């Protein structure tokens, strides 16, 4: 089916000019004529042309007045206008161009020149529209992708926080509740115009999302202190207080490796300052008054309110009224007096949230690729922090994995398969491969001797646990495709080629390629580094072990590629 022709309107009070121009252009365009400016505007009520050819010297309303009226109307301002005129002085031409004309053709005009000029401007307008549409489509796609990854970031941070909570079986739900309280308190701060100038500079959505990491340092606290049912001794309490510094250090380490770290900056401030007190008696730095970051002063109230109104290993929950009275008594000593007053003014709303089960969701946008990498790195570093000598395991695995991926891409056998992968997302996702270790107890994870069969079985449970973690994240995101590689990696890199691995006993090419690739890299990295139960192997020894495990533990074809490029692995990760 032939596409509709582009529409042109010729405006000229000279009948001969109208006929000649129409005859010249009618072959390629739908051409309409108007003998005056008034007739043009009547015509524009029914049709929007792709181009207007406009005479300047016309009675009643000249071309300059017509173009001014066109450009001042939102409906017609975008229509390109070419002046047709006998005026040949530069001043007239400049005036027309300044008013918005796209070109200037003098009369009497050459029919061939007129045709070429019109063709050129019609083509230009089409390209401009296509570019605009492409830009809008691209913006929509970027916005949709950004939203999807932001949701993923939020879900991952939520899961990280819940992983911290899972080590303290009594305080489950603390993170979600404090998020909701913080959001409510910030609304009331804005309503009362309190600290308005500083708060107006914050990305509130990002701050609330980051608040999920305020207790991330607890991951470094020993089980016997974190889960102690009775009151802590002075020495134990001093150890517990270190979680604020641990949290800051975990987040700082991640910040050093990313350029997009705004949400981490919020997280670092919250982790390090929400236990400071207005009178200077808090920790970890003993900050006082306004020297305590406002983020931390806000978090302090919502954190204490939730702790008071819920059971803890060392106490039963207080009532809302009892908790409010404790916070009232802490005004000017524990808490910022202004924030405390606002909390007390609206304390009934906090009680309503405390008994509500509606989930609080944060929406917003951010630059997604770096933030996604940073978010996953949060989780990876938390796991590494619990791993004793394994503090750089995740980073080293990524280094070796990048070498191995480049090696595989140079082989015809893997080119087509890997071409369908988002390699960056694969490398980012690899940071989650050992996330399940967060559920393994300290005594097993850091044991210096050989594990018993029972302990080894306990370690193996981290494979099942990590799959559940990914599934939990998937439940909270719209675009599950972002977790495709992570799900394949966490569930299969301990499977063996001969079917003797775990957790599912998969065999041969029934094991996802992602897991078969990571298995070699993970074992190599483990062999060439110290572990609590053994010293490190040399590069040569590690290569020999992998070679001898070809066809049993590892995919033989992948081992061949590894052996071809093993010298590249000898370099120490940067």
Other beta carbons less than 10 A from residue 514's beta carbon? 23
Q: From edge to edge, which strands make up the β-sheet containing 7-11?
A: 30-34, 7-11, 51-55, 81-85, 103-106
- Composition of the chain by helix, strand, coil, percent to 5: 60, 5, 35
- The tens digit of pLDDT for each residue in 294-348 reads 999 999 999 999 999 988 777 788 999 999 999 999 999 999 999 999 999 999 8
Checking if the pLDDT of 167 tops 70, the result is: no
3 state SS for 132-159: HHHHHHHHHHHHHHHHHHHHHHHHHHHH
Average pLDDT value for residue range 498-516: 91
Q: Smallest Cα–Cα separation from 337: which of 367, 368, 297, 309?
A: 297
When pLDDT is averaged across residues 464-480 and rounded to a whole number, the result is 61
The Cα-based distances of 440 to 212, 221, 491, 544 in angstroms read: 22, 14, 16, 30
Question: Model pTM?
Answer: 0.48
432, pLDDT greater than 90: no
Alpha carbon separation from 452 to 3, 224, 457, 505, 523 (Å, rounded): 77, 21, 9, 21, 20
Mean pLDDT value across residues 279-299: 96
Residues paired with residue 11 on neighbouring β-strands, in sequence order: 34, 54
Q: What is the pLDDT of residue 443?
A: 67
Confidence of residue 481 (pLDDT cuts 50, 70, 90): low
What's the confidence (pLDDT) of residue 333? 97
Q: Are 125 and 344 in contact (CB under 8 A)?
A: no
The tokens describing 312, both together, are 């803890």
Cα–Cα distance, 488 to 512 (Å, whole number) = 6
Per the CB < 8 A criterion, the answer to whether 248 and 362 are in contact is no
Cα-trace Rg, the chain: 34
Distance CA 531, CA 390 (A): 7
Cα–Cα distances in Å, from 453 out to 23, 397, 416, 458, 459?
94, 27, 42, 9, 10
pLDDT mean across residues, the chain: 80
Q: Are strands 103-106 and 81-85 parallel, antiparallel or unpaired?
A: parallel
Query: Which domains are delineated in the chain?
Result: 7-109 (3.40.50.2300), 169-355 (1.10.3210.10), 386-569 (1.10.3210.10)
Among 107-116, 150-159, 549-558, the range of highest mean pLDDT: 549-558
pLDDT tens-digit readout, 52-62: 999 988 888 99
Task: Quick: pLDDT tens for 414-428.
Answer: 877 887 787 777 877
Write down the pLDDT at residue 357. Answer: 39
At residue 413, what are phi and psi to the nearest 5 degrees? Answer: -60, -30
Rounded Cα distance, 137 and 568, in Å: 43
Residues 6+ apart with CB under 8 A from 171: 165, 310, 312
Q: How far apart are CA 466 and CA 464, in angstroms?
A: 6
Model confidence at 574, in pLDDT bands (50, 70, 90)? very low
């Amino acid at each position: 089916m032939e596409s509709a022709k582009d529409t042109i309107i010729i405006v000229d009070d000279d009948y001969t000019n109208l006929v000649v121009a129409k005859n010249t252009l009618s072959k390629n365009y739908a051409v309409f004529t108007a003998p005056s400016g008034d007739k043009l505007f009547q015509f524009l009520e029914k049709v929007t042309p792709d181009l207007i050819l406009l005479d300047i010297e016309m009675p009643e309303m000249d071309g300059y007045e017509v173009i001014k009226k066109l450009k001042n109307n939102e409906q017609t301002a975008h229509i390109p206008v070419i002046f047709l005129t006998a005026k040949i002085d530069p001043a007239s031409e400049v005036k027309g161009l300044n008013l918005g004309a796209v070109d200037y053709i003098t009369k009497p005009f050459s029919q061939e020149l007129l045709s070429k000029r019109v063709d050129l401007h019609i083509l230009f307008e089409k390209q401009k529209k296509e570019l605009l549409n492409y830009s809008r489509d691209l913006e929509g796609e970027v916005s949709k992708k950004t939203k999807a990854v932001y949701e993923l970031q939020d879900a991952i941070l939520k899961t990280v926080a819940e992983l911290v909570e899972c080590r303290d079986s009594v305080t489950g739900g603390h993170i979600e509740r404090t998020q909701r309280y913080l959001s409510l308190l910030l609304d009331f701060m804005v309503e009362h115009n309190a600290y308005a100038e500083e708060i107006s500079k914050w990305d509130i959505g990002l701050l609330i999302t980051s608040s999920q990491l305020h207790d991330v340092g607890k991951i470094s606290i020993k089980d016997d202190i974190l889960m102690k049912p009775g009151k802590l001794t002075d020495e134990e309490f001093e150890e517990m207080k270190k979680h604020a510094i641990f949290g800051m250090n975990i987040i700082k380490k991640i910040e050093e490796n990313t350029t997009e770290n705004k949400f981490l900056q919020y997280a670092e401030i919250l982790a390090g300052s929400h236990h400071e007190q207005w009178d200077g008696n808090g920790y970890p730095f003993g900050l006082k008054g306004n020297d305590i970051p406002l983020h931390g002063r806000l978090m302090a109230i919502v954190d204490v309110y939730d702790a008071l109104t819920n059971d803890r290993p060392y106490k039963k929950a207080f009532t809302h009224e009892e908790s409010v009275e404790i916070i009232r008594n802490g005004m000017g000593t524990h808490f910022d007096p202004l924030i405390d007053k606002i909390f007390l003014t609206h304390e009934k709303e906090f009680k309503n949230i405390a008994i509500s089960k509606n989930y609080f969701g944060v929406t917003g946008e951010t630059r997604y690729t770096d933030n996604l990498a940073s978010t996953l790195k949060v989780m990876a570093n938390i796991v590494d922090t619990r791993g004793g000598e394994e503090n750089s395991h995740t980073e080293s695995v990524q280094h070796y994995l990048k070498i191995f991926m480049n090696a595989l891409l140079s082989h015809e056998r893997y080119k087509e398969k890997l071409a369908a992968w988002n390699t960056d997302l694969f490398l980012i996702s690899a940071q989650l491969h050992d996330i399940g270790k967060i559920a393994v107890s300290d005594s097993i994870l850091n044991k210096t001797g050989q594990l018993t069969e029972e302990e080894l079985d306990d370690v193996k449970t981290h494979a099942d646990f990590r799959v559940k973690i990914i599934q939990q994240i998937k439940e909270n995101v719209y675009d599950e495709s972002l977790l495709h590689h992570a799900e394949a990696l966490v569930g299969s890199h301990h499977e063996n080629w001969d079917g003797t691995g775990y957790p599912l006993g998969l065999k041969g090419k029934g094991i996802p390629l992602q897991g078969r690739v990571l298995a070699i890299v993970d074992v190599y990295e483990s062999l060439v580094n110290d572990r609590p139960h053994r010293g490190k192997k040399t590069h040569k020894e590690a290569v020999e072990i992998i070679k001898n495990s070809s066809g049993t533990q590892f995919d033989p074809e992948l081992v061949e590629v590894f052996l071809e490029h093993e010298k590249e692995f000898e370099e120490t990760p940067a």
